[in-house]
Amino acid sequence: MVKTYGYVRVSSYDQNEDRQLTALQGIVTPGKNIFIDKQSGKDFDRPQYKRMVRKLKKDDLLYIKSIDRLGRNYAEIQEQWRLLTKEKGIDIVVLDMPLLDTRRGKDLMGTFLSDIVLQVLSFAAENERINIHQRQAEGIAAAKARGVQFGRPQIKLPDHFGQIVQAWERKEITVHEAILQCGVSESTFYRRLRRYRQEQKST
């Protein structure tokens, strides 16, 4: 018996999968036949995707919202499409692109046209991913040029940090007292201590 499945992927846990689920509504039975992964599409180490592939049988039907749900790497999308349609023998319907419906055009010309569309869309998906990363890198570089700081803010040590260190080294105070006077964690104290000593050697 032919079964119908749906696959949904969002890039992270803070993204919402509702748009994709809405597109599958009325087509695929919710629950056991819809598989959802919440992680990056840069690779295929996705538990729900793998679980779905194991369940797929010849002539089953898989719906996805768009081609980049399979991934954003040109070669990987091509490979997964080949695995699903050739090795597993299933049909795929890409809802955003009606031409990518393997149930139609099973003849040579139909397959040829479908393959061309797949290659174009796979390339476009990867190219968009590259452009997004480039825009992010350019935005970060521009922000740094404006003085925007990234990462955790630098913990400020007391102005008399050197005197605290010297008192500790002379055993006038314990390391615990030195850390308390600096108002930092033990790991931060030792990290900044190493930097302080390096600066002292270079002067």
Active site residue 11: yes
- What is the separation of C-alpha 101 from the centre of its chain, rounded to a whole number of angstroms? 27
CA 42 – CA 22 distance, rounded (Å): 24
CA 8 – CA 21 distance, rounded (Å): 7
Strand intervals (E) in 11-160: 34-38, 61-64, 91-94
CA 175 – CA 188 distance, rounded (Å): 13
Compute how many other C-beta atoms are within 10 angstroms of the C-beta atom of residue 192: 17
Q: Which two tokens stand for residue 157?
A: 């040590």
Is 40 within 8 Å of 69 (Cβ atoms)? no
Any idea which residues carry the catalytic annotation? 11
